[in-house]
Amino acid sequence: MGASVAGIDGVLAADVNFASGLLTFEYDAAVDPREAVATLVRGTGHGVEPLGEDVAPAPPQTWWQRNRTTAAIAASGQFIATGWALGVIGVPEIVSTVLYALAILAGGLITWRRAWVSVKARMLDMNVLMTIAVIGAAAIGEWQEGATVIFLFALGGWLESRSLERTRRSIRDLLAFEPEQARVLRAGAEVLVPPAEVLLGETIVVRPGERVALDGVISSGDSALDEAPITGESVPLDKTVGDRVFAGSLNTSGLLQVEVTALAADSTLSRIIFLVEEAQAAKAPAQQLVDRFSRLYTPIVVGLAVGIATVPPLAAWILGAEWGSFASWLYRALVLLVISCPCALVISTPVAIVSAITRASRDGVLVKGGAFLEVAAKVRAIAFDKTGTLTNGRPAVVEISAENPRELLELAASLEANSNHPLARAVVKHAEREGVAPLAVESFEELPGRGVGAMIAGRHVRLVSPAFAAGIGDVREPLASSISRAEENGRTVLVLLNEGEALGYIAVADEVRETAAGVMDELRSAGMKHLVMLTGDNERTAAAVAADAGLTESRSRLLPGDKTSAITELRHRYGAVAMVGDGVNDAPALAAADLGIAMGAAGSDTAVETADVALMRDDLSALPGFFDLGRRTVANIRQNVALSIVVKFAVLALAVFGKATLWMAVFADTGVALVVIANGLRLLKKR
């Protein structure tokens, strides 16, 4: 289809998205070939509807337009059944032949039109080959077989389109969650407007039972929201003032006022829809391999068919040998023509990939393309970040040790007010609760993996890790012993240095996720050989968290570059490596890994855009299912490809020796395609 459209005058480039049924093309505005494109698409028997605000919607279809293909196939089948029945009771053969001819005309209604479009585009597709085969069958008197073949081909195509429609529903299902109107507060009154007309900072009202129209932050009210379209989590979450909400979420109880933080086109749901469409359209390595094979296979078999039809009869005529009639060799060639189009083989990979991506999106896992499903099947080692990944990501200050705790907190909060690190936020929030206001800072410096420093009231102050503090400052007893005990208890310690002298420390704790240990057990059961934590934290804290989370190993005091090196070393030992992190702080390690997985990505632009895979929920529970889906997807693709190739070559061999019929050839093509589709659709089911 894409190649046919690209051949129209004025069209610069064209592409068909198999998954979403979307045809996009670039064109010369001076020529404007849109009507010609629509005419061509309709000429092939497909419906076409323009998208966009500047085009008029397509006129509604009549009953005949919607059902003509079904009616034509039914009529073809009825003609064949009647012709066969009349032949059995002894009616003259000419009557049955006429009925079979009518069956060919009815069954080929769509095939002939598509074949003509392909011929004009100088393409040799299945419709052209099937047309030649049926005409050839009729030419040698095989009317019944020609009619049956075109009927089975049309019926198979109809079933195939209905089956593939299931894989396209995921986008429409997501679009159904986008409200058509938003209730906006303007001049003290509620106004209903399309979400696209709502501006940043405006307030929308979401009543119980309504869906949130745009991403935002609750400014008034509390409720339980069902975020299944975004995160895959079926249990509604309690939300209150200050919490984020996402477009498409269902407000189940209270009245909410939400301050809009993203335009309709930039909402989390819109980004998910766009990325799922992109992922479904992208070709996985297995599909690229199949496509290359198919481009060679078809011309070779067509050439073989031409040779079968001409060389043996011509040689027999020259040599005066009895090698069978011309009709028998032509019949063999027609069988080869039908086999020559690798429909089942071409569709074997994309149907599995699209089904798997759809299943993953329903489970709250955003996969950026089929290639990453294939990588997931190979992963045997997984590296995890600590803060926000294995832990809840909400660290809190649990201890302040100093002669003047309030002064220490004041200085620490002043330094951390300029950082977005989770530990920094914990210190600042604790200061706010204690009523401690930050001081002005000068010459602020950030020391990656070590801490922060600045000039405060003429003093050089640093808040750093204990190891770094010991190397650049004076940490005396009994402070050093207290720091060691805090670290042994799994706490992260931040030491405050004033002109190089330790004034005291702040201990921060972040609890391990309740589900972490269970997830690690599931991953081991699924064949993961090594589960390691990579963190910039100290050895004692890292060991305590790793033990609670059930990891194989922990590596501590790692700078961003060290994490990248660790990924490389793990790859040499175990093969493909996945890295799970927050998608921002761990960007180098995520990029270095064979598979970068960002978690808690709902609402995070950076995580969704940069990661190969994004867990939309803020937990690890979807991880084992994703890796299982990757392995099942690769196994499904192998099954489909093997079945397609084995059946094709078996019938091809039989055809060369005159043992195959046109019916068998249709099964090797359309029949196997249906089996392949049904097998691929199994991935849609939740396991």
Question: Would you name the residues annotated as active-site residues?
Answer: 385
Rg (CA), the chain: 33
Q: List beta partners, residue 301.
A: none
Closest CA to 162 of 5, 21, 62, 43: 21
**Which segments of 489-557 does DSSP mark as H helices, in order?**
516-525, 539-549
Alpha carbon distances (Å) from 551 to 11, 384, 387, 532: 56, 9, 15, 6
Query: CA 22 to CA 1: how far, in whole Å?
Result: 11
What DSSP assignment string belongs to 79-144? HHHHHHHHHHTT--HHHHHHHHHHHHHHHTHHHHHHHHHHHHTT---HHHHHHHHHHHHHHTT-HH
**Residue in the block written with tokens 């019944």:** 144
Type of residue numbered 632: R
Alpha carbon distances (Å) from 582 to 279, 506, 558, 589, 606: 21, 24, 16, 11, 9
Closest CA to 411 of 344, 345, 463: 463
**H helix or E strand, kind and range, residue 451:** strand 451-456
Interior angle at CA 346, CA 276 and CA 575, nearest 5: 65
Classify burial at 269, counting beta carbons within 10 Å of its beta carbon; exposed 0-12, middle 13-18, buried 19 or more.
Answer: buried
Closest CA to 404 of 357, 436, 359, 356: 436
- 527 three-class SS: coil
Residue 663 near residue 150 (C-beta atoms within 8 A): no
Residue 221 near residue 255 (C-beta atoms within 8 A): yes
**H helix or E strand, kind and range, residue 667:** none
Interior angle at CA 624, CA 623 and CA 626, nearest 5: 65
Burial annotation 15-37 (CB, 10 A radius, 16+ → b, else e): ebbbbbbebebebeeeeebeebb
Query: CA 444 to CA 438: how far, in whole Å?
Result: 14
DSSP 3-state percent helix, strand, coil across the chain (nearest 5): 55, 20, 30
The pairing of strands 577-581 and 381-384 is parallel
Classify burial at 593, counting beta carbons within 10 Å of its beta carbon; exposed 0-12, middle 13-18, buried 19 or more.
Answer: buried
- 530 three-class SS: strand
Residue 494 near residue 463 (C-beta atoms within 8 A): yes
